[in-house]
Amino acid sequence: MPDKPPVYKEFLVGLIVGGLFGPVIGWFIGTFAMFFAVTAMTSNVRGLRTSAFIGGLMGIPIGFATGVVVSLPLRLMSTRGLALLKNPWLAALVGATIGWFCGYLILTAWYPTFGSLIYVVTVCMVVGGVTGSVAVSAKPKWL
C-alpha cells in the first residue's frame, strides 16, 4: 500500500474544502465585515440589518472564489511538496496572504471605496486563513 493517496483524491479534497467551507465562511464573515464597514463609513446605522444581510449574501461568491483559489494549491503543496505546510497555523498564514491577494484583485475590478476595502479584505483574508488551515488538516478518507 502506498503511504500517500493518489493526486486526484488530494485535488478533490482541496476542491471540497474550498467549495463547501469557502461560501459558508464567506457568508458568516461577510455579515460581520459589513457591520464593520458600515460603522466605519457612516454614523447613521439605521439600515444595518439589511446591510449585514446583503453583506452575507455577497460573501458567498467571494468566499467560494477565495476558498477554491486558496485550498487547492495549499492542499497539493502540503501533501506533495512542502511538508512544512502541514502545520495548520502556518497554512492559515499562507492562506490569509493568498486571500489578501484575492481581495486586491477583486478591488482592482470593483469600485474601491473605504467600506469595500474593509469588507473585501476582511472576507478574503478570513476565508483564506480558515480554508487554508482546514485544507491541510483534512484527511483524504473523507472521499
Angstrom distances, CA of residue 39 to CA of 32, 45, 119? 11, 7, 11
Q: Is residue 2 part of a domain?
A: no
Domain count, the chain: 1
DSSP string over 106-142: HHHHS---HHHHHHHHHHHHHHHHHHHHHHHH--GGG
Q: Is residue 46 part of a domain?
A: yes
Range of the domain at 17: 7-142
Query: Residue 129 in contact with residue 99, Cβ under 8 Å?
Result: yes
Query: HSE on the CB side for 74, CA within 13 Å?
Result: 36
Q: Is residue 103 part of a domain?
A: yes
pLDDT at 47: 66
Q: Is residue 1 part of a domain?
A: no
Give the global pTM. 0.87
pLDDT at 2: 62
pLDDT at 82: 78
Cα pseudo-dihedral 68, 111, 121, 59, rounded to 10: -50
CA distance 49 to 141: 41
pLDDT at 20: 92
pLDDT at 29: 94
One digit per residue, the tens of pLDDT, for the chain of length 143 reads 567 778 888 889 889 999 999 999 999 999 988 888 888 877 666 667 777 888 889 999 999 999 999 999 999 888 888 778 889 999 999 999 999 999 999 888 877 888 888 899 999 999 999 999 999 988 777 56
Q: How far is CA 44 from the centre of its chain?
A: 30
Angstrom distances, CA of residue 102 to CA of 84, 108, 125, 132? 23, 10, 9, 14
pLDDT at 41: 78
Residue entry with cell 492559515: 92
Q: Is residue 113 part of a domain?
A: yes
pLDDT at 90: 93
pLDDT at 122: 92
